[in-house]
Amino acid sequence: MHKVYNEIIQIAGDVITVEAKNVGYNELAEVQTQGSISLAQVIRLDGDRVSLQVLSGSRGISTNDKVRFLKHPMQVSFTQDLLGRIFTGSGESRDNGPALTENMIAIGGPSVNPAKRIIPKNMIRTGIPMIDVFNSLVESQKLPIFSVAGEPYNPLLARIAMQAEVDMIILGGMGLKYDDYLFFKDTLEKQGALSRSILFVHTASDPTVECLLVPDMSLAVAEQFALEGKRVLVLLTDMTNFADALKEIAITMEQIPSNRGYPGDLYSQLAKRYEKAVDFDGAGSITVLAVTTMPGDDVTHPVPDNTGYITEGQFYLKGGRIEPFGSLSRLKQQVNGDTRDDHRTIMDRMIQFYADYRETLEKKSMGFQMSGWDNKLLKYGDRFEKELMALSVNIPLEKALDLGWEILSSTFDKSETGIKDALIEKYWPKK
Amino acid sequence: MSDNLRKGQVIGVNGNMVSVEFLTNVMQNEVAYIVQGSDRLKSEVIRIRGKRAELQVFEDTNDIKIGDCVEFSGELLSVELGPGLLGQVFDGLQNPLPRLAQDHGFFLKRGVYLSALEDDQQWEFTPTVKKGDKVRSGSKLGFVPEKIFEHSIMVPFHLSGELEVVEIVAKGKYKIKDVVAKVKSLDGKTHDVCMKTIWPVKMPINAYSKKLKPIKPLVSKIRIIDTLVPVAVGGTFCTPGPFGAGKTVLQHLLSRHAEVDVVVIAACGERAGEVVEVLKTFPELKDPRTQKTLMDRTIIICNTSSMPVAARESSVYTAVTIAEYYRQMGLNVFLLADSTSRWAQAMREMSGRLEEIPGEEAFPAYLETRIASFYERAGIVQLRDGKTGSVTIGGAVSPAGGNFEEPVTQATLKVVGAFHGLSRDRANARKYPAIDPLQSWSKYESFIEFEKVEKGIRILKRSDQIDQMMKVVGEEGTTLDDFVEYLKGDFFDSVYLQQNAFDEVDEATIADRQKYIFDIIVEIIDKKFDFKGKEDARKFFLDLRQKFINWNTKKFNSSEFKSLEKNVLDQIQVTKVEQNA
């Protein structure tokens, strides 16, 4: 039997301290309060003083509650039974289904040896032209969606999940509004995708500490499936809530804060999760799409800033659209050379014209006179926004490219496009 | 022999910092192992107070317990130096990653350390000294062939004073641990010399006669760098920029094209995906100078952002020590560190755990000293045999918020010789490399004459001023002369300062070609044109630009190059009216 400690000497935030011996760093414990049992994780050892973060929060914990150490770190069950299920951040059932206890694996495992990675090479089609044509998503990519509160980032995430050509989806929700949680659940159910999905959801009203476990739970499970050869898409929303949870715990632990109160290891913490994205040499892959809401739409805020240095590009969601400027898929050139021979040209030229359109709009708003060329650009930009940029557009890549040609040909002469003749001959719509 | 007294036990764990109570003497920065059953977790002593030492652990600290045994090694954190380093991929502690992958599969197993060099490999050793010769530390005793070089076997760097060769083996095959020579110091002690030697990473190797001033330009083949903000052989530079500005692409280009002998790439805390790209593409790319694979002259130190933070801190030191080692052989070594901000952040993390009083933005007070002493390990040195060798250091900096005022960028700017500031605006406008020519600077001299370079800078500044003005008064409110000045600057920027990283000719421009082309650029800048109006002028420069960009993609002095050159020159001549004084 494990020894039970029943003197809690400090409670601060969600962190409790007991005096105990023979406890391992990061080990898990059970805290038994009146009527309920909560898990807690060791986050600091100082002589006999052991500090633990209580996953369900410290509310209602009294100094004589019982603490029992479990001799293992945080774990999650890995079985095929996970599919179609919904869990909390600490791995408990959220859907009234049975608890899963077989084949427990540790979460937050070691880093992948870079020598066992391969260069990503498969495009993941989403049916969204702003992604497929202009910033292709690539299998094993780690990519945040930078956005602000109020933008439809969760619907976007759900749509990508529904349409992406992957074997399975793992959704990690952090600080989700209850409505958003139901939205994801309903969408997946309605589209019949729940059976190939696993959800780990922490909602805004759940204890903060559970929020911290969501990415690790999601990614640990993803990793096991990927090792079995599955192509897994992990959706994380919202990583800013995760970072804020880190901040809360760090401040409780009286750690010296670095930037805007975030802990000094924010970069390492985020990287540790994002770097789980991988294409294994000889097995499956993990692709990570994560929402990062930017406080005040400020990309230099520590969370988006640190994220940008870790991830392989970003999608900017602004005004209900994926912005062509600022959005970037660093891996797109690995895949967009092998799709169709006009892909890269359409991608470049249409964005350049769109940039010109923006300039013309600016000139127009300042009252400058519009030239014939300006008017062409205005017409072009309008069609581009409505027919390609709108998030409601849902067409395969090839259709989107054809549509691109159609828009170009309806506004410009061949010679005005600056596209080389061979492509014009092949793709310019015949009237 | 492990001495019973050189042990201690764990009394605290906080993140990857472990507190240890020890029984006898402990050395600052010595390596200690936390024993966990059969695992031994490597760590380094970073603070000693009374009988208590703080260790930063280079591994996950999961499951470490109070009372766990700690063994102190008595040695500083060191690297193995010797033949067999070239072409290797190590982590920050010099573990060979491909061999680890062979032995342990997909994941980096905790507590597993392999020796950096292959002990069993045979090397063909040729002695270059004979018994009785007088030598000093760093003197060459012989050599073995390693990839494309003659790898010098040298007198160990830690020996001081004059030494006498008392034994030297005959030419033949030896392993790195075999004794190939014996040298006697003045105090009469004899020291064995093998091909492998060990050196503590945090101490510079200084077995040379003097350090020289870096004056010779290092040809990077990136035009904006070589012409406007050059780097010297043995010099230092930094490349700060917000994410997405192209730091890593620029570093990859430099590592491929710069005219140096050996390249050491230190990825400290960067994306694994990008490191993998180097890992997988370098063996397939040809070094234009040797026609061998690029990997033959490259060493990669790879600590991705998810690997333990303490190992990230050590990775830059591991890299620079290896760089210094090859410098001792009279080679020119180029060290690229991406990114030094992550290294600084690693220091910040540890400093926070040590609860040190934080400096600016919570970085430790010693940040500047550490950065300075790292960059100071660059230099061109005269070796004891009169040859020179160099280490050039280029550090990418990832400033928080893209703000160059932050402590790491500022501390770095104080100690480097050149500053290549990347700008988000230029990157957004797809101008590559996105080095801002007006913000960046260099204290080194270019291989292009200073007067000419000045003309280039002057037209860029002028063009920028006029551009700013036009934003207020519109094109209509600008004089034709000013407008032409603006176009000239814009032209210079787009055909010379920008390079197409995806075009195999344009991505790298040799020095001769740069000189040749820059003369034509200067001619255009100097020339007074007679345009009918602004439209006329714009069309002229757009035309010329198109021709120039095509010209940039043709091999230097090829027949296509010549014919396009004629095109360009013809256009300039046609509108020539008079030359500026």
CB atoms within 10 A of CB B267: 33
pLDDT in tens, B402-434: 899 999 999 999 999 999 999 988 887 778 999
Scanning B120-139 for CB atoms below 8 A from A yields: none
- Element spanning B546, H or E: helix B534-552
d(CA B300, CA B262): 11
Q: Where are the beta strands (DSSP E) in B429-492?
A: 441-442
pLDDT in tens, A240-275: 999 999 999 999 888 888 888 999 899 999 999 999
What per-residue confidence (pLDDT) applies to B1? 43
Q: Is the peptide bond before B339 cis (omega within 30 degrees of 0)?
A: yes
d(CA B313, CA B364): 14
> Is A275 within 8 Å of B269 when comparing Cβ atoms?
no
Q: Strand pairing of B123-127 and B140-146?
A: antiparallel
CB atoms within 10 A of CB A274: 26
Do A145 and A315 contact (CB within 8 A), yes or no?
yes
Query: Nearest residue of B to residue A112 by CA position?
Result: B107
Q: How far is B435 from chain A (nearest CA, A)?
A: 18
Q: How far is A95 from chain B (nearest CA, A)?
A: 31
pLDDT in tens, B64-103: 999 999 999 999 999 999 999 999 999 999 999 999 999 9
- Residue A313, Cα to own-chain centre: how many angstroms? 12
In chain B, what residues touch A275 (CB-CB under 8 Å)? 271-272, 304-306
Q: How far is CA A268 from CA A241, A273, A277, in A?
A: 16, 9, 15
What per-residue confidence (pLDDT) applies to A297? 92
d(CA A51, CA A249): 12
Portion of chain A with pLDDT greater than 90, in percent: 81
Widest CA span of chain A, in angstroms? 85
Q: How far is A249 from chain B (nearest CA, A)?
A: 13
Scanning B228-267 for CB atoms below 8 A from A yields: 242-244
> Is A300 within 8 Å of B401 when comparing Cβ atoms?
yes
Per-residue tokens: B148: 């494309």
In chain A, what residues touch B65 (CB-CB under 8 Å)? 22-25, 45
Name the band, by pLDDT with cuts 50, 70 and 90, for residue B581.
Answer: very low
Closest CA to B203 of B321, B93, B95, B313: B321
Q: How far is CA B139 from CA A357, A412, A419, B160, B194, in A?
A: 66, 71, 61, 11, 14
Scanning A162-201 for CB atoms below 8 A from B yields: none
What per-residue confidence (pLDDT) applies to B312? 86
pLDDT in tens, B247-277: 988 999 999 999 999 999 999 888 888 888 8
Widest CA span of chain B, in angstroms? 91
In chain A, what residues touch B279 (CB-CB under 8 Å)? 114-115
Scanning A237-296 for CB atoms below 8 A from B yields: 255-259, 263-265, 267-268, 271-272, 274-278, 280, 283
Which residue from A25, A301, A312 is facing B273, i.e. has the nearest CB?
A312
Q: How far is B527 from chain A (nearest CA, A)?
A: 29
Q: Could you write out the DSSP letters of every residue in B328-375? A: TTT-EEEEEEETHHHHHHHHHHHHHHTTPPP-GGG--TTHHHHHHHHH
Q: What is the ipTM of this complex?
A: 0.89
Q: Could you write out the DSSP letters of every residue in B491-512? A: HHIIIII---TTSTTTT---HH
- Element spanning A293, H or E: strand A285-293
Per-residue tokens: A101: 């206890």
In chain B, what residues touch A28 (CB-CB under 8 Å)? none
Q: Could you write out the DSSP letters of every residue in B28-64? A: TTEEEEEEETTEEEEEEEEEEETTEEEEEESS--TT-
> Is B272 within 8 Å of A275 when comparing Cβ atoms?
yes
In degrees and rounded to multiples of 5, residue B447 shows phi and psi of -80, 0
Q: How far is A268 from chain B (nearest CA, A)?
A: 6
Is residue A126 helix, strand or coil?
coil
Closest CA to B268 of B195, B342, B336, B200: B342
Q: Does B188 touch chain A (CB under 8 A)?
A: no
pLDDT in tens, B121-171: 999 999 999 999 999 999 999 999 999 999 999 999 999 999 999 999 999
d(CA B237, CA B397): 10
- Cross-strand pairs, B195: none
What's the start-to-end Cα distance of chain B, in Å?
80
Query: Nearest residue of B to residue A275 by CA position?
Result: B306
Structure pTM?
Answer: 0.93
What per-residue confidence (pLDDT) applies to A63? 93
- Cross-strand pairs, B125: B172
